């Protein structure tokens, strides 16, 4: 396998209630799962290819829980990437050059037999993990906006977190409220004021790197 590593920030929005039951080995809030995700790579490599500053996004949809399979996914890769970098990102985010079950991307792809054509389109993304604010916009595909959860009585910002010592996506995530609208091949219908999380994605082909937090 080609060695790789990425240190990135991620914003994800799914259709579940805040907290996302999947993080706790429970069934999805509405029985199905749909998500939009954006990732900004701060630094990284795939073999001798540097991946610093590149962006990736994707939409995904499953008719039931993710582990039940039958999903559909579409990957979007930063058009600034060179042909070699595009191949590298395609491999990493489709679970290639990765040990079985080691990363969330390996799992998503194995549970998604319907892989749509990868798009190479501009990705406008701003992700502030600590502030729990950000957006990911891929023109003609989707727009995701997220903000802190607010107390329904006082309006004050809440700051819940998810801590997963053995997680294959992150070790710690900031939970927020997200809304996604879609225009692309995958139509997400229920992602309005639903679960979102901001996190650091620090991993390689063997999984999440332990000192990520």
Give the Cα separation of 74 and 114 in Å (integer). Answer: 9
pLDDT class of 210 with cuts at 50, 70, 90: confident
pTM beyond cutoff 0.95: yes
Give the Cα separation of 204 and 213 in Å (integer). Answer: 15
pLDDT class of 119 with cuts at 50, 70, 90: very high
Query: Cα–chain-centroid distance for residue 114?
Result: 18
Q: Which residues contact 4 (CB under 8 A, 6 or more apart)?
A: 44, 45, 46, 47, 88, 91, 92, 97, 204, 205
Distances (CA, A) of 122 to 77, 119, 139, 144: 8, 9, 7, 14
∠ at Cα 40 (38, 43), nearest 5°? Answer: 150
Look up residue 150 and give its DSSP letter: B
Distances (CA, A) of 74 to 34, 83, 109, 112: 12, 19, 10, 10
Q: List, for residues 153-187, the tens digit of each pLDDT value.
A: 999 999 999 999 999 999 999 999 999 999 999 99
Cα-Cα end-to-end distance for the chain? 26
């Amino acid at each position: 396998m080609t060695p790789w590593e990425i240190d990135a920030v991620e914003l994800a929005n799914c259709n579940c209630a805040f907290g996302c039951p999947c993080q706790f080995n429970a069934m999805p809030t509405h029985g199905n799962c749909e998500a939009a995700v954006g990732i900004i790579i701060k630094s990284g490599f795939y073999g001798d290819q540097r991946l610093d500053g590149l962006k990736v996004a994707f939409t995904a949809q499953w008719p039931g829980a993710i582990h039940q399979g039958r999903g559909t996914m579409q990957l979007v890769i930063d058009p600034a990437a060179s042909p070699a970098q595009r191949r590298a990102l395609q491999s990493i985010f489709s679970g290639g050059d990765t040990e079985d079950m080691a990363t969330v991307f390996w799992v998503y792809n194995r549970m998604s037999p319907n892989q749509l054509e990868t798009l190479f389109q501009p990705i406008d993304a701003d992700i502030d993990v600590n502030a729990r604010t950000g957006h990911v916009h891929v023109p003609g595909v989707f727009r995701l906006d997220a903000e802190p959860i607010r107390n329904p009585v006082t309006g004050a910002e809440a700051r819940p977190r998810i801590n997963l010592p053995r997680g294959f996506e992150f070790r710690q995530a900031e939970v927020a409220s997200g809304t996604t609208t879609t225009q692309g091949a995958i139509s997400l219908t229920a992602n309005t004021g639903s679960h979102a999380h901001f996190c650091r994605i620090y991993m390689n082909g063997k999984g999440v790197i332990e000192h990520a937090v």
